[in-house]
Structure 1
Amino acid sequence: MLASDSELKVLTYLWKCGSCKASHISKVFEEEIGWAPNTTYTIIRRAIKKGLITRSDPGFICTPNVKQEDLQASSINELRKNLFDNSPFQLVKSLISNNDFSDEEINELYSLIDKEKRSK
């Protein structure tokens, strides 16, 4: 399940801070992002409808219903399918060729590739 950018903001907050009241999220987002309280509640309700967040009462407590890693994996899979003809190689090639990596990061990438080769 993919999350919109706004839903992702709410989920990221919940992953970082843990379960909390919607009123608290609304107050924080009003101060930090400038969202009106109704905007935050609308986004939370959409995320609940999608199954990304669970609501519990009393108190309208919001809890992330998906792990960050799972959402990242499904988003990457969608990106791979839609933009890279479902090719993991083309996705990785694009990521590598369009970024400046430090020597340490390059060595870590080589290590990951070597580790993957040995596991097959």
Structure 2
Amino acid sequence: MEEFKLFNAEYKFLDIIWGLEPINSTELTKVCMKELGWKKPTTYTMIRKLTQRGVLKNENATVTTLIRRDQVQKYESEALLEKAFDGSLPAFLTTFLQDKKLSKQESEEIRKMIEEATK
């Protein structure tokens, strides 16, 4: 499996880009200052780091992502499942749903997902 392990700050940064891409790097520094409190050098350092890792593309001062949000979410959720629950989805769901009440709609959506996954 391809690795998309991101630190929290990297994920927040990518979240901004996913919502605005393609985005001019100068505009991105302004958004990061407002949203994350980052100074311009911090944003440019993050662009450089993530470009070197193959996560971003920065061409002609236009920044775009090379990975999708759902790819990162899939990797992160699988890593959590493996690390904290020895890969056991039932153990994860038991812990996650403890003390929670699902709506009828949520319950039905989960039921449909399980049925699709078992086909």
Using the size of structure 1 for normalisation, the TM-score is 0.82
Q: How many residues align?
A: 116
Task: Say if 2:47 and 2:58, in contact at 8 Å, map to a contact too.
Answer: no
Residue 4 of structure 1: aligned partner: 7
Alpha-carbon shift at residue 33 of structure 1 (Å):
2.6
Task: Give ranges in structure 2 of 5+ residues lacking alignment.
Answer: none
Q: Percent identity, aligned pairs only?
A: 22
Task: Give ranges in structure 1 of 5+ residues lacking alignment.
Answer: none
Task: Say if 1:7 and 1:44, in contact at 8 Å, map to a contact too.
Answer: no
Residue 83 of structure 2: aligned partner: 82
Residue 14 of structure 1: aligned partner: 17
Question: What amino acid sits opposite 1:53 in the alignment?
Answer: L
Higher mean alpha-carbon deviation, 92-101 vs 1-10, is at: 92-101
Task: Say if 2:85 and 2:91, in contact at 8 Å, map to a contact too.
Answer: yes
Alpha-carbon shift at residue 96 of structure 1 (Å):
2.5
Alpha-carbon shift at residue 98 of structure 1 (Å):
5.5
Question: What amino acid sits opposite 1:26 in the alignment?
Answer: T
- Distance (Å, rounded) in 2 between the aligned partners of 1:75 and 1:11: 14
- Distance (Å, rounded) in 1 between the aligned partners of 2:93 and 2:56: 30
Residue 94 of structure 1: aligned partner: 95
Matched, 1:107 2:108: yes
Question: What amino acid sits opposite 2:42 in the alignment?
Answer: T
Using the size of structure 2 for normalisation, the TM-score is 0.83
Q: Secondary structure at the match of 1:55?
A: strand
Q: Secondary structure at the match of 1:12?
A: helix
Residue 27 of structure 1: aligned partner: 30
Question: What amino acid sits opposite 1:70 in the alignment?
Answer: Q
Distance 1:99 1:50, change over 3 A: farther
Q: Secondary structure at the match of 2:86?
A: coil
Task: Say if 2:33 and 2:39, in contact at 8 Å, map to a contact too.
Answer: yes
